[in-house]
Amino acid sequence: MELHEFNMHLINELADKYGKVLLKDVDRIMRDCYFNDTATLVNEPQGEDNDEEYQLIKEVWCEQWSVGDSGDSFEGRLYAKIKDGVWLMLPFAM
pTM of the full structure: 0.85
How many domains are contained in the chain? 1
Please say if the pLDDT value at position 47 is more than 90.
Answer: yes
Mean pLDDT value of segment 12-34: 85
First to last CA, the chain: 25
Enclosing domain of residue 82: 3-93
Question: Does 27 have pLDDT greater than 80?
Answer: yes
pLDDT of residue 67: 83
- At residue 78, the pLDDT reads 92
